Amino acid sequence: MRPPAAWFGTSVACVLALASFCYLIRDGVGGLLRAPLDFTAFRCGGALLARGADPYLVEPLRTCERSSLILVGKHLTPHLVVPAPLPPFALLAFAAFGSLQPPIPSAIWAGLLFAAFIATCLLLRPMTRAPMLVIACALVASGFIASLVIGQLMPIEIAFLAATAAALSAGWPVAAAAAAAAALTEPQIGVPVVLGLALWEPRARLPLCAALLGLAGLSVLPHGPHIALEYLTRVLPAEAATEGLDAAKQFALSAQLALIGVPSTPALVAGAASYVLMTALGLRAGYLLAKRFGEGAFAVLTPPAFALIGGTYVHIHQVAAAIPLALLLDGRVQRMRLTLLAALLLLATPWQTIGEFAIARPLPPQQLTIAEHLMDLVDDDDAPAAGVWGMWVTSSAHNANGQAIGLAEKVPTWLGLLALLTVALDAAFPEALRSLRLRSRARAPTC
């Protein structure tokens, strides 16, 4: 593609992103970008960690969140606290916002997300055969807007994935190792990337170990190892047992099993097992795709996409991590092109986010009362923040639209993931799948 056409595609995506930004901050929408809840939790967690407090407990996290929201005319439900379940090294990065008063931090954060979105488009362009306009439009809604409205960090996470792939494709193992380690900001997505890099590029293994040791040092630097151990032994299991079983918001297998009545422990075990199996399958498929097409980026972009199928913790904004794989396959696969196009369209649209804003219903007062009562039962300053949040989830206070609508919002995304999985497996194991098809035809009854 000629450079002017590439820049035209980027410009169109920028206009779409800026238009969405302007729409979301206008008063009639309620100031969604003024101290969005998830960003506020991350910002407060980082500020508390820098000051020596525990960012994973109810207090002083809740007090910080309340004071931040009050400054922009918002308020939290009584007893509610929004957890900040990021690793300590990731929370430390948010300490830079601690001295700024809302809404300045959220405005800066929105700008950083926009910059990460543009960087991702530019990093992916040399590796993919898709036009820049396709790349930008595929990421603008799923990767940028879906995270922007709640203050999440997936545009930055996807930029780390793209940087890992770009460095690997360019033959820079040290840079690839640094970017892959940074992707551990979202551990369930970063772990498959790290494993894929270590499997494909032996030269990256030593720098990768050094980068991981550096992250471990950052995690224990503020207050010793107890915060890092708390994150591994209490925060991650608590998030899986509370929000991970929330079928209203989660796309993961564990939540869907809990929805149909499977007890929490078997549901979590099944979700964890599916995560391991799909990651292993993604590692193998990524290795084969990288060899077949002569593009190392497949080795690090395929495993996180596969890991989104099943698992214990998958939100709508995290599904955008599958789009780089779809873009890599575009123009390289000769068969199932319509299936790939369908996958890209389904994954590029944040159906759940659109549904939540388009048909949002006010929360019934009695449901809010139940939520406040349940949270009050576990409300303790020294309790994990995930425990109070878990009671909010249990009360279904954040799911006023109901289970049927929530399920309908997820179906297109699940279909997109399955379509992408089918195309990737067909490209990675062409002989095996062709053999299976021939056997099935041979066994079919003939008239």
pLDDT of 367 higher than 90: no
pLDDT of 97 higher than 90: no
The pLDDT of residue 385 is: 83
The whole-number average pLDDT for the span 86-114 is 87
β partners of residue 57:
384
Across the chain, how many H-helices and E-strands are there? Answer: 23, 0
Quick one: which of 176, 215, 211, 214 has its CA closest to 196?
A: 176
Do 182 and 191 contact (CB within 8 A), yes or no? no
Kindly report, residue by residue over 2-21, the tens digit of the pLDDT: 445 555 555 655 665 566 55
Give every CB contact of residue 228 below 8 A, 6+ residues apart in sequence: 87, 88, 216, 219, 220
Phi, psi of 354 (to 5 degrees): -60, -45
Task: Identify the three-state secondary structure at position 384.
Answer: strand
Two tokens at 275?
């995560």
Phi, psi of 61 (to 5 degrees): -60, -45
Two tokens at 378?
């576990």
**Left, alpha or beta for 81 (phi > 0: left; psi -120 to 50: alpha)?**
beta
The pLDDT of residue 304 is: 97
Give every CB contact of residue 221 below 8 A, 6+ residues apart in sequence: none
Quick one: which of 319, 332, 331, 327 has its CA closest to 416?
A: 319
The residue with greater pLDDT, 145 or 119, is 119
Quick one: which of 13, 29, 56 has its CA closest to 388?
A: 56
Do 156 and 113 contact (CB within 8 A), yes or no? yes
Total Cβ atoms within 10 A of residue 209:
13
The residue with greater pLDDT, 397 or 95, is 95
Phi, psi of 18 (to 5 degrees): -65, -35
Length, in residues, of the chain: 447
The residue with greater pLDDT, 116 or 361, is 116
Kindly report, residue by residue over 384-443, the tens digit of the pLDDT: 888 777 777 766 655 555 666 778 889 999 999 999 999 999 999 886 555 555 555 656
Kindly report, residue by residue over 52-81, the tens digit of the pLDDT: 889 999 889 988 988 888 888 777 777 788
Give every CB contact of residue 367 below 8 A, 6+ residues apart in sequence: 395, 396, 397, 400
Kindly report, residue by residue over 201-238, the tens digit of the pLDDT: 999 999 999 999 999 998 887 777 888 898 988 888 88
pLDDT of 94 higher than 60: yes
Domain-by-domain residue ranges, the chain?
3-352+366-430
CA distances from 313 to 189, 351, 399 (A): 10, 18, 18
Kindly report, residue by residue over 170-212, the tens digit of the pLDDT: 999 999 999 999 999 999 999 999 999 999 999 999 999 999 9
The pLDDT of residue 15 is: 62
The pLDDT of residue 178 is: 96
Choose the most confident range, by mean pLDDT, from 89-93, 217-221, 358-362. 89-93
Tokens 């009545």 sit on residue: 261
Find the angle CA(37)-CA(193)-CA(43) to the nearest 5 degrees.
Answer: 20
First to last CA, the chain: 51
Of 310-314, 326-330, 340-344, 378-382, least confident by mean pLDDT is: 378-382
The residue with greater pLDDT, 133 or 423, is 423
What is the pLDDT confidence band of residue 30, given thresholds at 50, 70 and 90? Answer: very low
The pLDDT of residue 119 is: 94
What is the pLDDT confidence band of residue 116, given thresholds at 50, 70 and 90? Answer: very high
pLDDT of 378 higher than 80: no
The pLDDT of residue 4 is: 53
The pLDDT of residue 11 is: 62
Two tokens at 191?
């772990």
Alpha-carbon distance of 192 to 282, in angstroms, equals: 8
Q: Per-residue DSSP letters for 148-199?
A: HTTT--HHHHHHHHHHHHHHHHHT-HHHHHHHHHHGGGSHHHHHHHHHHHHH
Two tokens at 78?
């009584």
What is the pLDDT confidence band of residue 347, given thresholds at 50, 70 and 90? Answer: very high
The whole-number average pLDDT for the span 93-98 is 87
β partners of residue 384:
57
The residue with greater pLDDT, 283 or 69, is 283
| CB contact burial 379-414 (16+ within 10 A = b; e otherwise) | beeeebbbbbbbbbbebbbbbbbeeebbeebbebbb
Alpha-carbon distance of 70 to 138, in angstroms, equals: 36
